[in-house]
Amino acid sequence: MTATRIMLDENEIPTHWYNVVADMPNAPLPPLGPDGKPVGPEQMMVIFPETILAQEMSAERWIPIPDEVREAYRLWRPTPLIRALRLERALGTPAKIYYKYEGVSPTGSHKPNSAIPQAYFNKIAGIKRLTTETGAGQWGSSLAFAGQMFGIEVRIYMVKVSYEQKPFRRSMMQTWGAEVFASPSDMTNTGRAILAKDPNNPGSLGIAISEAVEEAASRADTKYALGSVLNHVLLHQTVIGLEAKKQLEKIGEYPDMVFAPCGGGSNFAGIAFPFFADKAAGKQVRLVAVEPTSCPTLTRGVYAYDYGDASGFTPLMKMYTLGHDFMPPGIHAGGLRYHGDSPLVSQLLHEGLIEAVAVPQLATFDAGVQFACAEGIIPAPESNHAIRACIDEALRCKESGEPKTLLFNLSGHGHFDMASYDRYFAGKLEDYDYPSEAVAASLAHLPKVG
């Protein structure tokens, strides 16, 4: 009988995170201030604790995972690696398909892999409170859970439309003891100014980030936490790929290709970077980031310095971007609606060391439903992007007869996203290619530096 669930023991949870910077051919480019000069740690320490900043800038290959963090990881890690045997049969492909299932975490996605260490490092730095923003609620619920694990108060600015449309994500955050406010709120100067102009402003991720950062910068006991994009977040997520490598090793397998959905880049980096270490050492492995055609940052953006948020508060980061004032359409994979991408992922793509593809929305739901019918698990709409690209490759293998080994990251389950599935079944979802003119218009507003 072919093994379909490859498990690790609790004592096999990784002891170190893997830092890809150690294996990159060129050092990462620094974030810049508005004056075009690199941003110093002292400026960033207003909103992040020192340990996290040290990780953000580290070039060490291995960074130890504190015992307290591994102890909290044990609540759901190691996660299973599963052979999608029934999906392979349904496709009639000679390819072997494996997926790493991150939906077994308490919040249903990979995001607590970084929320837990972020809460821990803030705690040991004497910080009492964390602020953050959340769109669809995946990151907010993960930080709420992590704050509860380490006795840190968490305040979440949730984009107002989502606050109203996704009441159950909000209930999760409240169950774990977090305070949740619809953003724009009357708690900050940013929020109050926006509400004075338009009391019905529906909010945006850019506004919510501004509110969370403003509050963190104004109080000594409070710092800010971010759920993707930054180097330390990607670092924490590498537990995914480190476990997957060990699991594949146990059954004598190695992937030809690795796929993951890509929004800010954290779950892609999480599964792919540990394999990049082998690639840097000469091994053949293709690492593919999958994004929506409606928000095609890596495939149609430019590699340039741009702001991380819509209002231009953050330092400038060298990344693939569609322009910080790019307004993505309301696609159903909320976690993939970011104008930019991780600077590390961007640099590796720019240097031709990883790959990116964009897939249209309807085809992603199609793949997600096919996966659910074969394997049982209903994937998050974000994860459906990786499934689409992986199925497409498996179908190419069917034509060529090549028995490739494929691995994808099932970054989360879709139990809180069934309204999107309903819209798909009702025929209300559409494909949307972001128009070239709109991309060009937004790129015309890039800040002039470097």
- Using CB under 6 A as the criterion, which residues of the chain lie in contact with ligand PLP when the complex forms? 109, 111, 138, 228, 261-268, 335-336, 380, 382-383, 411-412
* Residue 229 vs 257, nearer CB to ligand PLP: 229
Place of tokens 């004032």: 325
Cβ-count burial of 256 within 10 angstroms (0-12 exposed, 13-18 middle, 19+ buried)?
Answer: middle
Q: Which is nearer to ligand PLP, 191 or 263 (CB)?
A: 263
Give min distance, CB of 255 to ligand PLP, in A.
19
State the minimum distance, in angstroms, from the CB of residue 138 to ligand PLP: 4
For ligand PLP, the closer CB: 228 or 247: 228
Tell the smallest beta-carbon distance from residue 241 to ligand PLP (Å): 13
Is the bond preceding 117 in cis, omega lying within 30 degrees of 0? no
Q: 310 or 397, CB closer to ligand PLP?
A: 310
Q: Is 227 exposed, middle or buried (0-12, 13-18, 19+ CB in 10 A)?
A: buried
Minimum distance between the CB of residue 281 and ligand PLP, rounded to whole angstroms? 25
Please report the DSSP string for 50-90 in residue order: HHHHHHHH---SEEEPPHHHHHHHTTTPSPPEEE-HHHHHH
Q: Considering the complex, what minimum distance in angstroms separates the CB of residue 266 from ligand PLP?
A: 3
- Smallest distance, ligand PLP to C-beta of residue 450, A: 25
We find the least distance from the C-beta atom of residue 264 to ligand PLP, in angstroms, to be 4
In the chain, the amino acid numbered 253 is E
Q: Smaller CB distance to ligand PLP: residue 97 or 136? A: 136
> What tokens does 397 get?
């293998």
| Residue 33 or 106 with smaller CB distance to ligand PLP | 106
Q: In the bound complex, which residue of the shown chain has the CB atom lying closest to ligand PLP? A: 412
DSSP per residue, 246-284: HHHHHTT---SEEEEE-SSSHHHHHHHHHHHHHHHTT--
C-beta closer to ligand PLP: residue 149 or 336: 336
| Cβ 267 to ligand PLP shortest distance, Å | 3
Q: Quick check: 184 and 194 in contact, CB under 8 A?
A: yes
SS3 helix, strand, coil % of the chain, rounded to 5? 45, 20, 40
User: Residue 384 Cβ, how far from ligand PLP at the closest point, in Å?
Assistant: 9
Q: In what order do the strands lie in the sheet with 129-134?
A: 179-183, 153-159, 129-134, 222-224
Q: Which residues are paired to 111 by β-bridges?
A: none
Q: Which residue's CB is nearer to ligand PLP, number 31 or number 265?
A: 265
Element (H, E) at 101: strand 96-101
Alpha-carbon distance of 283 to 214, in angstroms, equals 45
Number of Cβ within 10 Å of residue 444's Cβ equals 9
Instruction: Rank residues 123 and 169 by Cβ distance to ligand PLP and give the closer one.
Output: 169
